[in-house]
């Protein structure tokens, strides 16, 4: 998760790293921008998303402090999604060409990057799987199972955020949860959900 942690890079590479501060809501790059760097998030939180032609935002995934992201940028010319800060953030900009050169020299770094890319692809498939479930009930159920360690889930985020992740309206999510409860599939108390 930290392939490009700058302090693990060689000194001459570190010298090329720039930092950028972002306000909450500010964009780091937009879909279609020329991809000139890959990144590592020092502090804060970002989300990667795109917009449909009618302006709806579609979330890909969130980046938390300590993670590198947009490794894909090393191998394509334009960013394929938009990155927006969800909290005040500080990001390390890792310029493309020097990093590519370093990858040729350092198999350990290359392996980290491969792991990271594989992980993201895996996650993307899981997301695709989730999103391709049509019914709200089953989509929510699948989501709960994904995020449950053993038999119960603590819903940390507000319902409207969870609804966003599920590509549902808050109303649809609410209805799906009550339905699952009525069916006796889950039980709820406050933000705690458990399977029966």
* Furthest-apart CA atoms within the chain: distance in Å: 61
Report how far apart, in Å, the C-alpha atoms of 62 and of each of 88, 124, 139 are. Answer: 14, 12, 20
Could you say whether residue 191 binds its own copies (CB under 8 A)? no
CB of 175 to DNA, least distance (A): 6
76 vs 187, which CB is nearer to its own copies?
Answer: 76
Give the number of other CB atoms < 10 A from CB of residue 93.
17
Report how far apart, in Å, the C-alpha atoms of 123 and of each of 62, 71, 98, 116, 118 are. Answer: 11, 15, 28, 10, 9
By C-alpha distance, which of 81, 120, 95 is closest to 18?
95
- Considering only residues 1, 27, 34, 114, which one is a binding residue for its own copies as defined by CB under 8 A? 114
Could you say whether residue 178 binds DNA (CB under 7 A)? yes
49 vs 177, which CB is nearer to DNA?
Answer: 177
- Considering only residues 65, 98, 170, 194, which one is a binding residue for DNA as defined by CB under 7 A? 170
- Considering only residues 46, 168, 180, 186, which one is a binding residue for DNA as defined by CB under 7 A? 168
Could you say whether residue 176 binds DNA (CB under 7 A)? yes
Interacting partner of 84 out of its own copies, DNA, none (Cβ under 5 to 8 A depending on kind): none
Which of positions 122-151 make contact with DNA (CB under 7 A)? 134-137
HSE (side-chain half, CA atoms, 13 Å) at 156 = 2
Could you say whether residue 129 binds its own copies (CB under 8 A)? yes
By C-alpha distance, which of 172, 161, 165 is closest to 60?
165
CB of 164 to DNA, least distance (A): 10
7 vs 182, which CB is nearer to DNA?
Answer: 182
Query: Strands 89-95, 68-69: parallel, antiparallel or unpaired by DSSP?
Result: unpaired
Could you say whether residue 127 binds its own copies (CB under 8 A)? yes
By C-alpha distance, which of 28, 30, 39 is closest to 3?
39
Tokens, residue 60? 């890909």
- Residues near its own copies (CB under 8 A) are 50, 52-54, 58, 60, 71-72, 74-76, 80-81, 103-105, 107, 110-111, 113-115, 117-122, 124-129, 131-133, 138, 142, 167
């Amino acid at each position: 998760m930290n392939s490009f942690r700058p302090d693990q890079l060689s000194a001459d590479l570190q010298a090329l790293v720039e930092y950028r501060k972002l306000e909450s809501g500010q964009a780091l790059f937009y879909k279609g921008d020329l991809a000139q760097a890959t990144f590592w998030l020092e502090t804060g939180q970002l989300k990667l998303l795109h917009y449909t032609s009618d302006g709806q935002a579609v979330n890909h995934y969130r980046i938390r402090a300590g993670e590198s992201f947009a490794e894909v940028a090393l191998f394509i010319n334009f960013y394929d999604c938009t990155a927006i800060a969800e909290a005040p953030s500080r990001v390390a900009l890792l310029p493309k060409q020097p990093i590519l050169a370093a990858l040729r020299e350092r198999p350990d770094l290359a392996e980290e990057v491969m792991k990271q890319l594989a992980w993201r692809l895996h996650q993307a498939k899981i997301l695709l799987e989730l999103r391709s479930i049509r019914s709200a009930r089953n989509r929510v159920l699948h989501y709960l199972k994904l995020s449950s360690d053993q038999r119960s889930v603590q819903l940390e985020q507000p319902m409207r955020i969870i609804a966003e992740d599920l590509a549902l309206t808050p109303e649809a999510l609410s209805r799906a949860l009550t339905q699952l409860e009525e069916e006796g599939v889950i039980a709820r108390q406050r933000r705690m959900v458990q399977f029966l």
